[in-house]
Amino acid sequence: MDSRRPQRKAALGVLLLSGSNIFRLTVQFLLFPILARLLSPGDYGLIALAMPVVLLALTLGEGGMGPALVRSSDPRGEVEVTMFWTALATGTACAAVLMLASSLIADLLSHAKVAPVLMWLAPVLVFSAVSSVPSVRIQKSGATWIFAVGDVTSTIAGAAAALYGALTGWGVWSLVAQQLVVWTVKVAVLIGFAGLRVRGRPGDQAFRYLMRHGMPVVGANLLTLFSNSIDAILIGRLLGVQQLGFYALAYQIVRIPETVLNGPVLVSFLPAVVRLGEDRAAVAKLFLDSLRMMLSVSAPLMLGVALTADLSVPLLLGPRWHGTVPLLMVLAPPAIGQTLGWLSRALLLGRGRSGLQLGLALLNAILTVAGVLIGGQFGIFGIAAGVGFAVVVASFAYLIAALRETQLSIGALGAALGPTLSAATIMACGVEGLRLILPAEMSPFTSIGLAAAVGILLYGGAMQILAPETLVAAIAPFWRRVRHGVESSVA
């Protein structure tokens, strides 16, 4: 038997997971214009108002135990079985509380229609609990191709459910159905490949280990969730679900790079950091490679979204979504920093610095609340600007903490990221200059096509001049380290 076969299989799994995220992005991009024309901003507003509550319950149910299990060697499986039954008990309890308290929560949010939405989304908490241990098994084994299979199949099934519901006139329930179908299919795939059976009995020592390492993570996750949700909650309560729908769709669009990149990077980056242990130099190199790779995607994409929002939104989403245009313009550039801040959080988590992460999450929450309260005086656009400012400052704080943890200097960071940021700036200036000279009567479709072509040429050309090896240097070392770490886990 070829001894390299398991290594090739594991490495292929990481590649497949990256491809599955690109597939999800493509489906989401194709689905957005259709659903936007079939559903109202109010429908998106209702689901955006309900999801922070569901995510809060999910965070409490998960208990931050996943990263703790990833970090544990657990030769007898005691930590795994303890996590499974703890997650199942807390997830089921949170689902029951959510269903019973849905009317009260709806009153607090000032929207009675959100109560049945919360009740129907409650099963997601149980699905998440059931899949917790299979997910960690897959992550530790390096068989990331299973995540790719789950992502692709659940995306197709969820998109079909949402499209059928929207065409049938279900309104917000088409989005609820999408969530339920996505979770059902994903859980079925994870359990089918990784198995659900756990051995042994839960142990007090394993429970204390999970709580000791999980509680700071829960605190940090709750603060991060609060920071990511307070804007939507206040907009929905003060300005209504119509305005929240505009904001929610804009925020969902600017999170596309994070959503696409975070999955494959997390399942490979976090275990790789854990395996590297105290080899700080190797961790620093991996961190820089990952930053460059993520920035090379997020920077040009988000700047392009901001520069062409006035053309793309009416063309793709329809005229009734015009209120999303200024929100995209102000939210897209800070999303570049948000991606880098997320990777910094993953590094701190992999290094076991959950306490530091908790403090940074508190800072992020304070900044977000301040941004929302100050910006709220100027309406929804002011809230978006305040949130964008908070994202930039908090992401910079996370990045500084990661640099200290890896003992990287600002100069090393600038040398690694400078060419990409410079190329993205050149691209933005070129696209903006093109927009100024294009005739006003030109069709939006033609204008977007020209802007995209010029942007790609300028960005690629600038990268070739400033640092022709940068993109390869960003991907190749990262790929080698991920493959080496994955190979080690399956050898």
Q: How many residues make up the chain in this entry?
A: 491
What pTM did the predictor assign? 0.70
**Residue where the block lists tokens 């939210």:** 331
If you ran DSSP here, which 8-state letter would residue 277 be given? T
147: tokens are 């995540």
Q: Above pLDDT 90, what percent of the chain?
A: 22
In whole numbers, what is the pLDDT of the chain averaged over residues? Answer: 81
Determine the average pLDDT of the residues in 461-466.
87
Percentage with pLDDT > 70 across the chain: 87
CA nearest to 345, candidates 336, 335, 354, 333: 354
For residues 227 and 218, give the distance between their C-alpha atoms in angstroms, rounded to a whole number: 14
Out of 277-291, 423-437, 451-465, pick the least confident. Answer: 277-291
Q: How far apart, in whole angstroms, are the C-alpha atoms of residue 119 and residue 173?
A: 12
287, pLDDT greater than 90: no
263, pLDDT greater than 70: no
Contact between 166 and 173 (Cβ < 8 Å): no
Which of the residue ranges 128-132, 317-321, 468-472 would you say has the lowest mean pLDDT?
Answer: 468-472
**DSSP label of 438:** S
pLDDT surpasses 60 at 205: yes
For 331-390, write each residue's pLDDT tens digit: 999 988 887 887 888 788 777 776 777 788 888 888 888 888 888 888 888 989 998 999
Residue 10 banded pLDDT, cuts 50, 70, 90 = very low
Residue 183: predicted pLDDT:
92
Q: What is the pLDDT of residue 361?
A: 80
Mean pLDDT, residues 292-300 taken together: 84
Tokens of 341: 């801040």
Alpha carbon dihedral 273, 274, 277, 281, in 10-degree steps, equals: 0
pLDDT band at residue 406 under the 50/70/90 scheme: confident
Kindly state the tokens that stand for 125.
């908490």
Instruction: Assign 329 a pLDDT band (cuts: 50, 70, 90).
Output: very high
Query: Is the CA virtual torsion 409, 410, 415, 420 positive or negative?
Result: positive
Q: Could you tell me the sign of the dihedral formed by the alpha carbons of 330, 331, 333, 338, in that order?
A: positive
Instruction: Report the C-alpha gap between 431 and 300 in whole angstroms.
Output: 11
CB atoms within 10 A of CB 198: 18
Which pLDDT does position 272 carry in this prediction?
A: 72
Q: Is the pLDDT of residue 137 over 50?
A: yes
* Closest by CA position to 225, among listed 93, 69, 368, 124: 368
| Mean pLDDT of all residues in 16-21 | 66
Q: Quick: pLDDT tens for 213-240.
A: 777 777 777 777 777 788 888 888 878 8
Q: Is the pLDDT of residue 99 over 70?
A: yes
Cα separation, 249 vs 48, in Å, equals 9
Nearest to 124 by CA among 181, 177, 183: 183
Q: pLDDT value at position 476?
A: 52
- Calculate the alpha carbon distances from 459 to 64, 261, 308, 393, 445 in Å: 40, 20, 16, 26, 21
Q: Which two tokens stand for residue 63?
A: 């208990």
Eight-state DSSP code of residue 328: H
In this prediction, residue 1 carries a pLDDT of 40
Pick from 121-135, 197-211, 323-337: least confident: 197-211
Q: Is 199 helix (H, G, I), strand (E, B) or coil?
A: coil
